[in-house]
Chain A
Amino acid sequence: MDLINNLMLGFGVAFTLQNLFYAFFGALLGTLIGVLPGLGPVATIAMLLPSIYALDATPALIMLAGIYYGAQYGGSTTAILINVPGESSSVVTAIDGYQMARKGRAGAALAAAGLGSFFAGCVGTIIIAAFAPPLTELAFKFGPAEYFSLMVLGLIGAVVLASGSLIKAISMILLGLLLGQINTDVISGVPRFSFDIPELTDGIGFVAIAMGVFGFGEIIANLSRPAEHREVFTKDVKGLWPTKQDFKNAWPAVLRGTALGSILGVLPGGGALLASFAAYTVEKKTKGNPGDVPFGQGNIRGVAGPEAANNAGAQTSFIPMLTLGIPPNAVMALMVGAMTIKGIQPGPQVMTSNPELFWGLIASMWVGNAMLIILNLPLIGIWIKLLTVPYRFLYPAIMAFCCIGLYTLNNNNFDVFMAAGFGIVGYAFFKLGCEPAPLLLGFILGPMMEENLRRALLLSRGDWTAFLTRPLSAGLLIAAALMIIVVSLPSIKNKREEAFQDEA
C-alpha cells in the first residue's frame, strides 16, 4: 500500500520536534488571527513571509498551512460570541451561532463548531493523501497549452463562484495579470514597465501588494467606520459538552458539510469561504426533526454544517496547489509564493522531488487539527479574553509587523513605499466595490500564464486554434466558457445574487 507508506513517511516528518513546534505555532497563530476580527489569514501569511527565510521549507509551509486552517477554528469563536465573523468564512456561522449564545448555549455551539471542524479536517487530510498522487500523474501529461487553459479555467472559476459583479471581478483578474507584467521578460530579457527603476525590473513584490491591499487598505477601511459596539457573551460559556440531542442533530450536518466542503475546496476559486456558504444553504433546505429550532434562531445544524464545510474546504484547497502548482484562492497564492521563496518550483514534480515536504505537510495537517481541538475547546477562555482587546491597540501592532516584514524582504525600503501606495489602491478598491482577491490570484499566475501561452504559440507556430484542437485544453476552455454562460443566464444570475444577499 503506497498510501500507507507515504503517510508513514509524512508522519515521520511531522512528528519531529521541530515540525511539531511549527505546526503548533501555526495553529496557535491561526486561531489568534481567526478570533480577532479585521485580521485575516492572507494578511498574516503575507506578514510572516519574510520570516520564513530563516526556516527550512518544510517547517515553514507547515506553519503557514496551520495558520490557514487554524483561522477557520478561531473565526467561529468570534462569530458565535459577538456576532462579528472573525473570518470571512464564518459569516454564516454567526447567524445561528450567535442566537445560540444569546440563549445561553454558547458552549454547545462552540463545541459543535470545534468537533465538526476536527472531523472535517481529518477527512480532508485523508482526501488530499488519496487524491494527490493520481492528479499529479495527470498533470505530467499537460503541455503548455493545457497549462494555459487550466489557468484560464482556474481564474474564471475563482470569480464565478465568488460574490459581486462578474465583469468587475474579471477586470480585477486582468489588472492583476497586468501588474504581473511589470518585470523582466523571461524569454527576451527586456525589462518591462520598469520606468528605469531598478527595483521594478524584478517585478513588484507580491508581499507588498498583499500587505498594502489586505493589510493597510483594510486598516484604513476599518478606521473610516465608526467603532461598533460589541456585546461579548463571556460569562455564559459553561457546559461545553453538547447534549445527546445536540449530537444527534449535528452529526448529519457535519457529514453533509464535510462532503460539500471537500468537493468545493478542490474547485478553482473554492476553499473555506464558498464551502461555508453552500453548506448553510444546504442545511436550510434539508428537513430537520420536528420540534427543531428554526434556522436563524439558534439551530445547531446551522453552526455544525458550515463550520465542518469551511474546514474541509480549507484542507482540500491544497490539492490543486500541491499537485498542479495552481493556487485556487488568495491564501494558496501566498503558499505558492512561499514555496518559490524557498526555491521550490510548485507543480506536479514537488511530490517526487520533495516527498518529505509533500507528505510531511499533509500529515502535519492532521496533527495540527488535533492540536486545534485542544487549543480551542478547553482553552476557550483565553480566546474570549482576547476579544476584549480594543482595535486601537491592535492595528498599530499589525502595521509594525507589516512594516518590519516589508523592509526585511529585500533589506530595502522600496517595498515599504510600494506597500504604502498599494494601501491607497486597496482602499480605493474597497470604496469602489472591487473585490481584491482575484487581483492577487491574477498577479501570481500572470508570469506563469504568459510563459505557457508563448511557449504554446511557439510550439504551434502561431496557431491559436491549438488551444481548441488539443482535447484536454479544449475541454478546460469549454468548461471555463460554460461557467461564464451559466452564471450569466438571467435565472441563475438572480439566484446567485439572492444567495449572496441572503447570507451576507
Chain B
Amino acid sequence: MKIKSQKDFWSGLMFIATGLGFAAGASNYSFGTSARPGPGYFPFGLGILLAILGALVLFKSLTIETEGGDPVGAIPWKPLGLITLSVVVFGLALPKLGMVVSLPLLILIASLAGDEFRLKEVLINIVVLTLGSWAIFIKGLNLVIPLWPAFMTA
C-alpha cells in the first residue's frame, strides 16, 4: 500500500492514538449510566469519536491521490531543539537563579536557533529585555518574580 498524503497519514495516526489513549484512560473512571453519567462517560465517548475520525483521515490518506504526496518535510532539529531547550532551561533556572540569570540564558539559547547569530546584537537584546522585563513586570505590575539568585538573597 502506498501513502498518498504523508501529512494526513501521520495526522490520522496521531488522532487514533490520542483518541484510544483517552478512551482507555477513561475506562479507569466510573462510566455511570445515561441517566446518571459518571466522570468517564464524556471522555470515553469523545475518545472513541476521535479515533473513528482519525481512522477516516488515515483511510483518505491511503486512497485519495494528492499532488506531490503532501510531504511532511524534514524536521528542523536546530530551531525545534533550541527553542524548546531555552524555555525548559528558563523554567528550571528561574526559581533558583532568579530573572537576572534565567532571562539572559533564555535569550542566548533562543538566539542560537536563528540563522544569523551576532554576539553583539544578542548582548544588546539581553540587556534591553532584562531591564525592560524588570521595569514592566516587577516594578510596574508588582508581580512576584525572583530577581536575584536565591543564594545571594538568603
Contact = CB atoms under 8 A, between A and B. Distances in A.
Pair from one complex? yes
Interface string B85-121: 0111011101100010001001100110111100001
A345 interface: no
Interface stretch (A1-9, A164-172, A262-270, A490-498): A164-172
A433 B73 CA distance: 12
A464 B34 contact: yes
B69 to A, nearest CB: 13
Contacts of A401: 133
B36 A168 contact: no
Interface in A248-288: none
B84 A423 contact: yes
Contact of A193 (B25, B141, B144): B25
Contacts of B76: 220, 223-224
Contacts of B133: 400-401, 404
Contact of A399 (B99, B110, B122, B141): B110
Given A220-B80, A404-B145, A178 B18 contact: yes
B127 interface: no
10 contacts: A51-B137, A171-B57, A174-B49, A190-B39, A192-B39, A396-B125, A416-B88, A420-B88, A423-B83, A461-B35
Interface stretch (A199-207, A357-365, A452-460, A474-482): A452-460
Interface of A: 50-51, 53-54, 165, 167-168, 170-171, 174-175, 177-178, 181, 185, 187-188, 190, 192-193, 216, 219-220, 223-224, 226-227, 391-393, 395-397, 399-401, 403-404, 407-408, 411, 413, 416-417, 419-420, 423-424, 427-428, 431-434, 449-450, 453-454, 457-458, 461-464
A188 B83 contact: no
Contact of B34 (A174, A178, A457): A457
Contacts of A167: 53, 56-57, 60
Given A399-B83, A404-B137, A408-B145, 4 more contacts: A192-B29, A404-B145, A407-B145, A416-B91
Interface in B10-46: 10-11, 14-15, 18-19, 22, 25-26, 29-30, 33-43, 46
B83 A219 contact: yes
Specify the main secondary structure of chain A where it touches its partner: helix
Contact of A408 (B115, B116, B137): B137
Given A171-B15, A220-B79, A178 B50 contact: yes
Contacts of A454: 37, 41-42
Interface of B: 7-8, 10-11, 14-15, 18-19, 22, 25-26, 29-30, 33-43, 46-47, 49-50, 53-54, 56-57, 60, 70, 72-73, 75-76, 79-80, 83-84, 86-88, 90-92, 94-95, 99, 103, 106-107, 110-111, 113-116, 121-122, 125, 129, 133, 137, 141-145
The residue in B8, B49, B84 that gathers the most chain A C-beta atoms within 10 A of its C-beta is B84
Contact of B107 (A174, A396, A449): A396
A399 B56 contact: no
B42 A399 contact: no
B111 to A, nearest CB: 6
Contacts of A226: 115
Given A168-B57, A171-B54, A399-B87, A392 B121 contact: yes
B146 to A, nearest CB: 9
Given A54-B142, A190-B30, A433-B7, A396 B129 contact: yes
Given A167-B57, A178-B43, A192-B29, A407 B111 contact: no
A400 B106 contact: yes
Give me the 5 closest cross-chain CB pairs, A-B, nearest first. Answer: A462-B35, A462-B34, A416-B91, A224-B76, A185-B39
Nearest to B88: A420
Contacts of A193: 22, 25, 43
A188 B111 CA distance: 47
Nearest to B92: A413
Given A165-B8, A399-B106, A454-B37, A393 B70 contact: no
